[in-house]
Every structure is written in C-alpha cells, then in structure tokens.
Amino acid sequence: MTSTASSVPRPRAPRVLVVAGALIGAILAVLLALAPAAEATTSPSPAPSPSQGQFQNSISGFLRNAGQPIQGVKIKAEGNGFTGSATSSASGAWSIPVPAQGSYKVTLDESSLPQGIKLADGQENPRTVTFNQTSNASTIFAFGAGIQVHQESFFTTLANRLVAGLSFGLLLALSAVGLSLIFGTTGLTNFAHGEMVTLGAVVVFSLSVVGVPFWLAGIAGLVSGVAFGYVQDAFLWKPLRRRGTGLVPMMIVSIGLALASRYVILFFFGGATQQLPYSQSTDIDLGVISISPNNLWSLLISVVVILLIGFVLLRTRLGKATRAVADNPALAAASGIDVDRVIRLVWVTGGFLAALGGILWAYYRPGVSFNMGQQLLLMIFAGVTLGGLGTVFGALVGSIVVGIFVELTTVFGFTSDLKYVGALVVMILVLLFRPQGILGRRERVG
C-alpha cells in the first residue's frame, strides 16, 4: 500500500510567490515607468541645498489664479528651528523640504506676485501648516479679486461638513465594496487593497504629465486597477487556494505584497505629493452649502457606480452567482457555478473599484502620493467591519457612517490628526454591542 505521505506533492508555495511577485513587479514597473519623467517635469522649485536634499518630509502646494499657474512667487517656511524657501515653477508648483514633521509657519511673499494678482480677501498669510499622516503637508493659497475667504457660521460649517462627509463616505465605499466582495467570496483579508487604490491615481498622474489626454489617462488608471486585480488572483491567490493554504498565511502574504507594491511605487513615483489635472477649482455655492466641482462629481460618480453594483448583485445571474459563492462556495460549485470564474471577476471588479476610489480620493485630499492607499486602508477596514464583514451593502452603510463621522469631528474641535481616531472609536463601540456589524449576520462571526 502506498503511504499517504508519499502521495502528497512537495510544497511549491515559495516558487508560486516568487513568480507572482516577479509578474506583479513587472506590471507595476511598466505602468509606472513614466513616473520619473513626470516627477522631473513637475519639479516645483530649484534644487535644494545638499543638506535639505536629505530631508524626507516636505511642504508643497500649487499657485494658480483663475486656473492659470503663477510662476516666480517666493514662499518661506519656518518652524522647529528651521527656515527654508522655494520659488514657484512654470506649473505653479513649489516645495520646501523640511527636517521633521510638525507645525510650520508658511509665508507667501506678496511683493513677488505678478502685477494685477493678489491674494483673496481674508486669505491667511502667513499661515500654519501641520503634517497629517503623510510625509508631505500641502497648502493652497487663494487668489483673485472679488474672492473672499471668510469665517463660516457653525450651522454653515456643519452643513458643509455633512456634505463633505457624504462625499468622503461614498468614495470610501467604492473601495470598501471591492474589499468586501473579495472577503465574502474568498474569506481573505487583503492588506494589499490599499496599493490597488494608489495605483489608479499614480497612473493617471504619470500619463497626464507626459501629455496624455486626461480622459484617456483616467481610463488607463482604471485598467491598471483591473489588471492588478486579475494578476493577483491568477498568479498568486488561485494557486494558493488550490494548495489549500490557510487564510492566516494568505493574509500574511497580502501584507508582504502590500509592502512590496508600495515601495515599487515609491521607487518609480517618488515620495513627493503631486496633484492631478484640474485639482484646483472655485467652489460652487448651493445655498448654505459650498462644494468644489471635483467633490460634486465625485459624489455623483460614486452614487452611480454603487447603484450599478447593487443592480448587478441583485438583478443579474452573475450577481446571484456571486452571492451564492459568498454564502457557500462548495454548494455553489455543486450547483454548477464556476467558482474560480466568479472569484476572478470579483478580483477584477475589486481592482476597478479600488482604482476609481483612488482617483477620486486624490481629488478629495487633494494630491497623489505613494502611500495614499495605506492612509485610506484603515478607514476602508473600519467601514467594512462596521457595516458587517462580507456584506456589500453593509460596507456601503459602514463607509458612509465613517465618512460623515470623520468630517463632523472637525466641527467639534478635533484636530486633523485625531479625526480618524474618532471613527475607529465608533467602530469599536458598535462591535462591542453588535459584533456582526450593522448589516452582518450573527452566524458570520465565530
């Protein structure tokens, strides 16, 4: 009789990981190969001195008046025993490397402004800039005659924060729905989901800088997310599933994949925060509510896409098959459903939604950085967990709750550094009293 041990094939997981890592790295390299040219094109200020060039943190921004860049304006940053300066480039960009994160006083030299251009009425200058969960702190100065920067009343601020929270929650839901679909069909907690968010925005910026029309760059950014999702499942997760790899080891692999992808993006894109085209625009006044066109478009696009996803899940055969795989993969396979095909489509859809969420997030912040997905990932997990693990509509509800709460905390005195902590506190409190989340089923836990 042949022993059971001799019939078991020797482990090949390391070879799978090496091949998958090489393929994913190659795809990222191709997609991001244009980034060095982009970084050189948008070099915002004269080369810093050797001592400043070693700094890993920076304060940056873009100077534009009526959509046109302002060149040759001097900006100075002071704080923490450091003083540095920069001059805006032909694109209106400027950047000042600083030795450490903290608060700095940033002053724009109004005497260096071109004739006929002045700061908007009420614009704070100098102003205090504080770093917030990133190596780059950005600030924007408003220009233009007739434009006033004024203090809002409490109720106006509250209304605007509610709208901003809804916009943030919906774009957060785009990524959270993709993550929830992946978890529901595979049981995998994918920590590399944040890098799928980053990739879409980075590709759009890289292509836009070298002259690709914005609409085409946007399509390429979405395609990059789809491709990343496809490659992950085809060359990494599917082989591991077939080998019966446990969920905990797969989760650890996803953490390693996230770190590798993040630093590949850093290598090609750089550590500076950049801005997508049309990122600066004048707010639209809708009664007491003031919202930028970018945030308004983000809100509308998020609603349309989420409604479309909901329709597909509830009204189509593919959606029913997806829900069947999420409920019981073995029973779905016995019913004739191609489980691997459904999971592959889920990964592709998750990559698409993550890339779209990353592009919209870059406009909401505003800015593109190599670790933007990492910063958003904690909020995505909060939304998914709060709504109910593995439930798509729970992810939607949880993300909206998190988005609104995050924005409302600033109304009640929370600093920008602490507003995300409040959302996590709410998640913890909800899970203490309802462990399955808002829309989750109790049998999903444990």
Residue 289, classed as helix, strand or coil, is: strand
Q: What are phi and psi of 151, to 5 degrees?
A: -80, 135
Say what the pLDDT of residue 410 is: 72
The region that residue 113 occupies, defined by phi over 0 for left and psi between -120 and 50 for alpha, beta otherwise, is: beta
For β-strands 103-108 and 93-98, DSSP reports them as unpaired
Domains of the chain: 55-138 (2.60.40.10), 154-444 (1.10.3470)
CB-based contact 436:388 (threshold 8 Å) = yes
Say what the pLDDT of residue 25 is: 53
As a whole number of angstroms, the distance between CA 141 and CA 129 comes to 12
Residue 372 above 80 pLDDT? Answer: yes
Residue 261 above 90 pLDDT? Answer: yes
Q: What are phi and psi of 442, to 5 degrees?
A: -60, -35
Residue 390 above 80 pLDDT? Answer: no
CB-based contact 123:149 (threshold 8 Å) = yes
Say what the pLDDT of residue 419 is: 66
Torsion of CA 180, 358, 416, 290, to 10 degrees: -110
Residue 180 above 70 pLDDT? Answer: yes
Asked which of 34-48, 155-169, 280-294, 372-386 is least confident by mean pLDDT, the reply is 34-48
- Mean pLDDT throughout 109-115? 87
Give me the chain's average pLDDT, please.
Answer: 79
**Over the stretch 229-255, which tens digit does the pLDDT of each residue have?**
999 999 999 999 999 889 999 999 999
Say what the pLDDT of residue 284 is: 77
The sign of the CA dihedral 158, 362, 301, 150 is: positive
Residue 409 above 90 pLDDT? Answer: no
The sign of the CA dihedral 12, 13, 14, 17 is: positive
Tokens 């390693």 label which residue? 256
Q: Identify the helix (H) or strand (E) that includes residue 86.
A: strand 82-87
Say what the pLDDT of residue 134 is: 62
What separation in angstroms does the CA of 313 have from each of 210, 226, 320, 393? Answer: 39, 19, 6, 10
Residue 438's identity, in one-letter code, is I
Q: Identify the helix (H) or strand (E) that includes residue 445.
A: none
Query: In which band, very low, low, confident or very high, does the pLDDT at 50 lie, cut at 50, 70 and 90?
Result: very low
CB-based contact 176:396 (threshold 8 Å) = yes
Residue 195 above 70 pLDDT? Answer: yes
Give, as one character, the DSSP assignment of residue 217: H
Residue 371 above 90 pLDDT? Answer: no
Say what the pLDDT of residue 443 is: 52
Q: What are phi and psi of 74, to 5 degrees?
A: -95, 135
- Mean pLDDT throughout 144-158? 61
Whether this prediction's pTM lies above 0.85 is answered by no
As a whole number of angstroms, the distance between CA 95 and CA 136 comes to 9
Residue 3 above 70 pLDDT? Answer: no
Query: In which band, very low, low, confident or very high, does the pLDDT at 260 lie, cut at 50, 70 and 90?
Result: very high
Q: What distance lies between CA 206 and its chain's CA centroid?
A: 16
Say what the pLDDT of residue 65 is: 77
Counting residues of the chain whose pLDDT is more than 90, the rounded percentage is: 27
Say what the pLDDT of residue 152 is: 57
Say what the pLDDT of residue 147 is: 46
- Mean pLDDT throughout 110-124? 82
Cis peptide leading into residue 366 (ω within 30°): yes
Tokens 């205090």 label which residue? 128
Residue 11 above 70 pLDDT? Answer: no
Say what the pLDDT of residue 67 is: 66
Tokens 């055969």 label which residue? 317
Closest CA to 348 of 309, 396, 387: 309
Give, as one character, the DSSP assignment of residue 275: -
> Which of 145 and 266 is assigned the larger pLDDT?
266
As a whole number of angstroms, the distance between CA 94 and CA 278 comes to 17
**Over the stretch 304-355, which tens digit does the pLDDT of each residue have?**
999 999 899 888 999 899 989 988 888 888 888 999 999 999 999 999 999 9
Query: In which band, very low, low, confident or very high, does the pLDDT at 221 lie, cut at 50, 70 and 90?
Result: very high
Asked which of 67-71, 185-189, 279-283, 386-390 is least confident by mean pLDDT, the reply is 279-283
Closest CA to 343 of 144, 183, 133: 183
Tokens 């090496």 label which residue? 18
- Mean pLDDT throughout 189-209? 92
As a whole number of angstroms, the distance between CA 399 and CA 381 comes to 9
Counting residues of the chain whose pLDDT is more than 70, the rounded percentage is: 78
